[in-house]
Each structure stands twice: as C-alpha cells, then as structure tokens.
Amino acid sequence: MAEREFTGILRNTWQKPLHCQDSGLRIGGGVFVRDPLSTPGTKQIDPGQQGDWKSESDEFLHGTAGHAIWSTKAFRNTGQGIQEISQFIRIGWNIPFIADPWTTFITCGVTSSDPREPTFGNNPDPVLGVEVSARMEDGSSVLAEGMFLSAYVWALPFSWLLHLFGDPQLVTHPRIQFTVFDREEREATGTTQGGLQFPSAAPETPDALMAQSFRHRATLSAQMGFAGAFPNFYEATYGLDTVGGTIFLKGGEVSWRDVPVAELGGASTTNFGDLMRAVNTYATREGFAGGFPTGFQADYGRGPVCGCVLLPAAAAEWRDVPRQALDNVPLEDVAGRFRAAHDYAVREGFVGGFPTLFHRTEADAGPFPTGLTGTVYGVVLVRPGFGEWRDVLLFRQPS
C-alpha cells in the first residue's frame, strides 16, 4: 500500500451521461492507478451508474494531488422556453504527506461554464449539485450522510477533515463518494440536506486563517500532552520544510474550558479580533491573567460553546505595553501584534506572549515612562516554567 492514496467515486443520479473531459496530477502529485479519463465506466458514467478512480504517492514522503472534470447537458427554463446548457463537475484532491493548517483536501463543485476557460466564473447558477461523503470499503458512510456542497467550488478545511474522520487511515487513504443530482428536483420533492452545511466560500479570510492556526496548535498540543498552545506567527524555511513558532503551555495551572458563546458576547471565529478580546474579558472576569481561543466551537445541545485556554496569575502576567515598545505595529496588523508581543516577552525574560488585542490611550492608562507617548497595547506574558517555545512543521515542499 502506498503511503498516501485517494479513491474517488462519482455517482450519477442525473438523467444524462457524465463525460470525463480532463484529468491530471500536480507535479510531485503521485501517479494514477486508475485514470478517470481512460478508465471504462468512469470516462463515461451513465445515468444510475457510478465510476471510480484512484491515485497514489509514488515516492518516499510524498503525497498525491490532482483533479478531474466531467461535463453533461442540462436544461433551464429561461422564460422563453427550455434551453439546453452545459454543466461541468470539477473535483480536486490533495492528500499531502504532511498537512499544514491551511491544507484543502477536497474541492468539488458544479459550474455552467468550462473551468478551464478564461471566462470561468461568469456564468449563471448551475442546475446540478454535488453531495459528498466518505465511505469504507463495505460502503458504510464515515462522514455525516449527505454532506451538501451546492455550487461552484467549496473547500473542506484541514481541521474539519481530522475532526470528522478521526481514524488516521481515513486521512491518509480517503475514499470519497461524490453524487451528482438535480437541484430543482430536490427542492421540489422537499429533500433535506443532511450532515454539515458548508460555508459559501473557502475559509481564506484573515480571520478564518487565524482561527485555523489556533485550531492547528490546539490539536498539536493535545497530541503532545500540553494544556494548550498558540502561534507567535513567526515562520522560517529550512530546506523543504516551513515551520511556525509555537508556545506550548504546561498543565497544572493552565485551564481549558468550553465557554458558552453567550458569555463571550456572541463572539465567533468569523471575527478573530472580537473573539480574542471577548476571551480576555471573560478571563479577567473569572480571575485569570488572560486567555485565548482554541479556534474550535461546538454545540452539545445546550447552545454553542467556544474552546478557551485560560492562564492564571501564577502562569502569566498581563501588562499594558506602550506601542513604541512593540515596534509601533499598526492596530489592524494582528499577526504583527503577535510577533511584537513575543519579541517583547522574550526581551523581558518571559517564554513568550500574546496580545489581548485591546488598546488604550495614555489618558486611559496613566502616565507612560519618560519619552513614551500615545497608545498602549494589552499583552499577556507567559512566565518561565509554564511554557515552551517550539517550532512546528507547517508544510513540506515536494522534493
């Protein structure tokens, strides 16, 4: 068995055949075991049938990544009669040897224009949709049944895939089933969409990337036996490896809690700055020096909760630090404020630190030290003995 494999299954519940128009693998993306463009039953998938394809890594410490495109004809009522239009189903997969927190494992969607053409994206809403689930060899579902991806190209974030699959074998050798269906027919019959409802775009906003970075470190800290971790947003590249600075917190004094979102003022990961401030407000209200979100949220039937790591005074110190002492980082540069807080913490003899993302003026904070004026930023500094600074692997480039 190869170190990394991907098996795709495309099921056609539409009334016309699906024709494979294109397939390919990225450079360093392995080899096809079954190429959808040349495999009988997958090159053309008739109504009510399904076809499958497979790629795998072909070198040590490599993954597999590629794409395939099918087309078919559909019908749209334009108000001036029934018009026949093209529909394109594009599926992409990326199963790296080592994933980073921003890895997109699966992309999948339907468009009314050819995604290979420059005009891709300038098209009406598609007639068809795609449902996706992961299946074991016996056909049983691994993911929530009928995870819905309606139109265009949606993405499955790294942390969701780990959370849903659980079994590492299914992360490194996933078997994914895609079902093409008539959207209008589903709406007419009242068919509900089960499982997870995906967002309307891949989570690539700065706020979403922040949340993903914290989820990544939270996952690593649990695997390594720490109470929590946060990124300092320093990165470095050594050969093929890109690593990210991380402060891991030791257990004992440090607390992890699921805090009701209602107690955080309704803050969510869609606005990381608001969430960071809300967690620190909650932390100080509860008698802690400060805290940060894990990036995970859940609902166990009693309302949404947000994972938080809280540091007591024994483990951390909160300070108002003049902006000049933090390299005059702009308020809106959140990653820069993390780096500046880390640098300040190390200079002051601490393991590391993070910003609360609160700021105040000199009038609010009281007189500054001689020669300093303007604004202060809130920072939380981790005391020696309560944390460790480590570089963690974010991703490895193909050799």
User: If we measure between CA atoms, which residue out of 279, 297, 300 comes closest to residue 288?
Assistant: 279
Q: Cα(65)–Cα(31) distance, rounded to whole angstroms?
A: 9
Indicate whether 166 pLDDT > 60.
no
Amino acid at 111: T
First-residue to last-residue Cα distance in the chain: 21
More confident residue, 354 or 365: 354
Q: Which residues contact 375 (CB under 8 A, 6 or more apart)?
A: 322, 323, 359, 360, 361, 362
Highest mean pLDDT among 1-10, 83-92, 139-148, 285-294: 285-294
User: Bridge-partner residues for 252, per DSSP?
Assistant: none
* Residue length of the chain: 399
Strands 82-95 and 104-111: antiparallel
CB count within 10 Å of CB 244 equals 21
Q: Cα(174)–Cα(399) distance, rounded to whole angstroms?
A: 23
Q: Six-digit token pair at 46?
A: 């008739």
pLDDT, position 270: 75
pTM score, whole prediction: 0.54
Among 42-51, 74-83, 90-99, 215-224, the least confident range: 74-83
- pLDDT tens digits, 365-378: 566 555 556 789 99
Q: Cα(87)–Cα(128) distance, rounded to whole angstroms?
A: 7
Contact 382, 312 (CB under 8 A): no
Q: Cα(152)–Cα(138) distance, rounded to whole angstroms?
A: 30
Q: Six-digit token pair at 163?
A: 């959370």
Q: Which residues contact 159 (CB under 8 A, 6 or more apart)?
A: 101, 212, 215, 216, 219, 295, 296
Q: Cα(381)–Cα(226) distance, rounded to whole angstroms?
A: 18
Indicate whether 41 pLDDT > 90.
yes
- pLDDT tens digits, 239-293: 877 888 999 999 888 988 989 999 998 777 678 899 999 999 999 999 999 999 9
Indicate whether 94 pLDDT > 60.
yes
